[in-house]
Amino acid sequence: MSLSALDKEFVAVGAAVGAGCHPCTQYHAQAALKAGLTTPELLSAIDEAQAVRSRGGMAVADVGRRILGAEQRAMPAEDPPASREAALVALGAAAGCNSGVLVSEYTEHATKLGVTGGELRETIDVAEMVKAMAGKFLLRDVERVVGQAVGSKDSVGQAFEPGRTGAAEAGKPRLPGLACGCEAEQ
């Protein structure tokens, strides 16, 4: 079984919010509405993704605390996703914010809600594609800001050369054959 276009937008909205990417979130929120999500469903997906991103940040911060021997903060208890769609959003957001701990947790929930192994792989692929675009947008913004700070975009060109950083060339997806559409929002 394969994810529907609507399922992919649940994942993409989760990943965009999880990655903290404004252009990706703008694009995928609009694409989700066009794919058939209602405004309340989209708001619920955004809220779910925001909660996952917050938990992901706490999990990563606790790695640093553990290294320092400092007290770790307990992650707030959260009800597991109640629907297949909520699980897809949560899994997309967990992947978007790079939280392996939460990817594992939400993979288990998604499986219990009927998401197949192939759909899980496709979910992660969609989230990775969104993250790749989020990275591209970040590099573009860094180039602009650093260029302004030093007086010329050209003076930082080598530091952010696409071939050296792994970033995509302007207008081209980072992963061959995959494009989520948010690159059009540049």
| CA 22 to chain CA centroid, nearest Å | 11
Q: Which domains does the chain have, with CATH numbers?
A: 5-185 (1.20.1290)
CA atoms within 13 A on the CB side of 83: 9
Q: Band the pLDDT of 176: cuts 50, 70, 90.
A: very low
pLDDT tens per residue across span 110-154: 999 999 999 999 999 999 999 999 999 999 988 888 877 776 544
Residue 157 has pLDDT above 50, yes or no: no
The whole-number pLDDT of residue 172 equals: 43
Residue 181 has pLDDT above 70, yes or no: no
What's the mean pLDDT when you consider all of the chain?
Answer: 84
Contact 114, 148 (CB under 8 A): no
pLDDT tens per residue across span 1-26: 799 999 999 999 999 999 999 999 99
Instruction: Compute the C-alpha angle 159/95/130, nearest 5°.
Output: 55
Which one, of 96, 133, 135, lies nearest residue 14 by Cα? 96
Report which of residues 114 and 161 the model is more confident about.
114
Q: What is the DSSP letter of 76?
A: P
Taking residues 70-81, report their average pLDDT: 84
Residue 186 has pLDDT above 50, yes or no: no
Residue 162 has pLDDT above 50, yes or no: no
Q: What is the DSSP letter of 71?
A: P
From the CA atom positions of the chain, what is the Rg in Å? 18
